[in-house]
Structure 1
Amino acid sequence: MPVVAKARAMRKRMSPPEARLWVALRRLRSRGYHFRRQHPTLGFYPDFICLDRRLIVEVDGSGHEWRVEEDRRRDAAFAREGFTTLRYGNASIRDNLDGVVEGVLAHLEAAVPTRPRLRLGHPPRDGEGEG
């Protein structure tokens, strides 16, 4: 299956905790933080990624108990590229969504952006602006 098709299929099959966290992370756009879902990165499909702050948020269900070593290798690959990975269990999202979002927000605010935030409005026309 091509990469883009696989990512799209994964977005359609989000678990209830992933969907709940996605709604909460989308609200952070008003603060200038943009997350993508299952964005193909380094051969993996992280649940949520903020490219600007190099932050990955993973939702771990019960199946992750048997994938600890695989998750460690994956997190290490992301870390080599400058990404921080936060992992939250389904129960944390179900029982403490506000705390999870606060934790994500704390990392976002502490991280240095890798590229400037988008300016509001349209870019200047040719010949306008700084010269």
Structure 2
Amino acid sequence: MRTEMTQPERVLWTALRAKRFDGTKFTRQVPLGPFIADFVARSRKLVIEVDGDTHNDEARDERRTAWLAAQGYRVVRVSNDDVMRNLEGVMQIIGEALAAAPLPTLSPEGRGLK
């Protein structure tokens, strides 16, 4: 896990943290199996990945996405450039992904979310 976020990650984290976006709790640098996800909304099973300019390992991305999908997660990938130049558009994409994600429900016993 990295302790220092990139500038685009900081910008996106500012928009997502503290339930600022859609009232959804996001966490950052989340271990999920053999991977570390940039941002995760666990309650909505949504992973947000911010890919850098030198990011070019499509085979690894495909394996990662397939593994996350097998765990029930959906993955949204955005580029550093998009975050820095079009944050509004990035937030719209994330909003659409959240709208398509199931909302958490109470368990039949009424003792928490399932």
Write 1 or 2 for the structure with the bigger share of helix.
Answer: 1
Identity among equivalent pairs (%): 37
Aligned partner letter, 2:35: F
Paired position in structure 1 for 2:37:
46
Paired position in structure 2 for 1:105:
95
Matched, 1:80 2:80: no
Equivalent of 2:47 in 49, 52, 56: 56
TM-score, length basis structure 2: 0.85
Aligned partners of 1:41 and 1:15: how far apart in 2?
Answer: 20
1:114 CA drift (Å)? 4.1
Paired position in structure 2 for 1:18:
9
The count of corresponding residues between Structure 1 and Structure 2 is 106
Structure 1 runs of 4+ with >4 Å offset: none
Inter-CA distance 30–16: structure 2 relative to 1 (3 Å threshold): closer
Query: Where does structure 1 lack aligned partners over 5 or more consecutive residues?
Result: 1-6, 117-131
TM-score, length basis structure 1: 0.74
Write 1 or 2 for the structure with the bigger share of strand.
Answer: 2
- Aligned CA RMSD, in angstroms, stands at 1.6
1:32 CA drift (Å)? 2.4
